[in-house]
């Protein structure tokens, strides 16, 4: 008999961050205390099939994912209940730990599935994940509650011909613009724009990833600063870290993050004036609460030349690769990698208990009471 918690790692996915997710899952698995946890692995393939624990371990061990898929005894990819059946095939999972970056993982999809399975899971809920994944929705909500962020114009297929580069520069009061898919991560589809040709080419690329594109003003002389958040109703913030990318790149690209970070300078923790550090921390915690996030998030800021911080974006399932800042910032703040995993798992259990209590305490109206309510309207 064992008192170990049974934790299921779900990783991979159908987004452009598939391989990054696999690296994050490896690191989390390696950091988990084997005396505390039994771990099952579920790889979500690019085609949306969830591989069994045995087949997922083959990929973990270095076998070709394509070959493992070819040999796997899986349900057809178009069978809609196959993912649920595969996850349900392993009995008594205590906590799910999804680490699917981008689409399926951070947009609320996997959270909805895990909620159906009535099992605790690490990270934010369905609605909060979906809101935070959409940069347009996030900005609208944060503008409403007073968290400073960059000005932007939303471009869709419907209004694409209504804007050109010159009009955008005048509206945003910036000759350098940044173009981003609203629902994408890891700097994929992002372009720095300085003329009409770059604008048109950037739109063509960004529309490959999403049908909502943000055009944002550029911040003068920005420093990219990141902060990690941990917790549920009472979140705590880590120390701040800074990223300095090669001048020619202009911003923190996918290659900087995951292919070759040798030219990127990381400063952890970064020393900023106390009042700026306090403002960023306050803005991050406010955004976390307003978006109703749970478990964890990494929040990125841009600090202008005159030391004004601007909210950039939030990552609800941040990377756990060897160079990912979320665990590094907690390490610098006194929480080890293994302890961080422990706390995330505990937070998942706490949130599940809270939600179950709400359901238990909910008393549906009796038929007679419903009639009284309707008459009172």
Catalytic residues: 17, 186, 324
**Any binding-site annotation on 313?**
yes
> Which among 310, 26, 243, 20 has a CA at the least distance from the CA of 9?
26
Return the DSSP state at 95: E
Query: Which letter, b or e, does each residue of 88-121 get, where b requires 16 or more Cβ atoms within 10 Å of its Cβ?
Result: eeeeebbbbbbbbbbbbbbbbbbbebbeeeebbb
Q: Which of 270, 345, 263, 318 is nearest to 31 (CA)?
A: 345
Strand boundaries in the chain, DSSP class E: 5-12, 37-44, 95-98, 152-155, 177-181, 191-193, 213-217, 223-231, 236-244, 265-267, 295-303, 309-315
Contact 193, 178 (CB under 8 A): yes
Alpha carbon 96 to chain centroid, angstroms: 16
Question: Is residue 64 classed as helix, strand or coil in its secondary structure?
Answer: coil
Asked whether 128 and 299 are in contact (CB, 8 A), the reply is: no
Q: Count other Cβ atoms within 10 Å, centred on residue 127.
A: 13
Q: For the stretch 281-292, what's the b/e string if a residue is b when 16 or more beta carbons lie within 10 angstroms of its beta carbon?
A: bebbbebbebbe
Dihedral (CA of 306, 174, 254, 181) sign? positive
Question: Residue 76: which residues within 8 A CB-CB, separation 6 or more?
Answer: 82
**What are the backbone angles phi and psi of residue 35, rounded to the nearest 5°?**
-80, -15
The rounded radius of gyration (Å) of the Cα atoms in the chain is 22
Question: Is 369 flagged in the annotation as binding?
Answer: no
User: If we measure between CA atoms, which residue out of 122, 43, 55 comes closest to residue 83?
Assistant: 43
Known binding positions for Mg(2+): 300, 313, 315
Known binding positions: 300, 313, 315
């Amino acid at each position: 008999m064992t008192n170990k918690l049974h934790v299921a790692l779900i990783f991979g996915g159908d987004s452009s961050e598939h391989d990054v997710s696999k690296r994050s899952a490896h690191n989390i698995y390696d950091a988990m205390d084997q005396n505390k946890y039994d771990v099952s692995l579920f790889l979500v393939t690019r085609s949306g099939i969830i591989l069994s624990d045995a087949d997922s371990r083959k990929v973990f061990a270095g076998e070709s994912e394509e070959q493992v898929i070819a040999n796997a005894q899986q349900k057809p990819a178009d069978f809609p209940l196959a993912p649920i059946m595969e996850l349900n095939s392993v009995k008594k999972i205590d906590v799910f730990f999804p680490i699917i970056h981008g689409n399926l993982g951070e947009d609320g999809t996997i959270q909805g599935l895990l909620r159906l399975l009535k099992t605790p899971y690490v990270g934010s809920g369905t609605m909060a994940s979906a809101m935070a994944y959409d940069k347009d929705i996030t900005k609208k909500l944060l503008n409403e509650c007073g968290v400073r962020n960059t000005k932007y114009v939303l471009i869709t297929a419907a209004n694409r011909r209504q804007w050109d580069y010159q009009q955008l520069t005048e509206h945003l009061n910036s000759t350098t613009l940044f173009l981003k898919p609203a629902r994408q991560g890891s700097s994929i589809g992002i372009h720095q724009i300085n003329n009409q040709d770059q604008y048109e080419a950037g739109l063509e690329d960004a529309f490959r990833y999403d049908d909502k594109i943000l055009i944002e003003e550029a911040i003068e002389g920005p420093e990219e600063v990141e902060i990690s958040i941990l917790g549920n109703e009472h979140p705590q913030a880590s120390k701040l870290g800074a990223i300095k990318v090669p001048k020619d790149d202009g911003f923190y690209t996918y290659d900087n993050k995951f292919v070759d970070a040798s030219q990127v300078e990381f400063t952890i923790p970064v020393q900023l004036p106390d009042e700026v550090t306090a403002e960023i921390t306050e803005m991050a915690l406010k955004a976390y609460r307003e978006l109703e996030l749970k478990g964890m998030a990494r929040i990125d800021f841009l600090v202008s030349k005159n030391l004004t911080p601007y909210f950039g974006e939030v990552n609800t399932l941040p990377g756990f690769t060897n160079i990912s800042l979320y665990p590094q910032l907690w390490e610098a703040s006194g929480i080890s990698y293994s302890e961080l995993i422990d706390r995330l798992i505990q937070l998942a259990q706490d949130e599940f208990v809270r939600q179950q209590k709400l359901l238990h305490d909910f008393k549906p109206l009796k038929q007679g009471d419903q009639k009284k309510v309707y008459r009172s309207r």
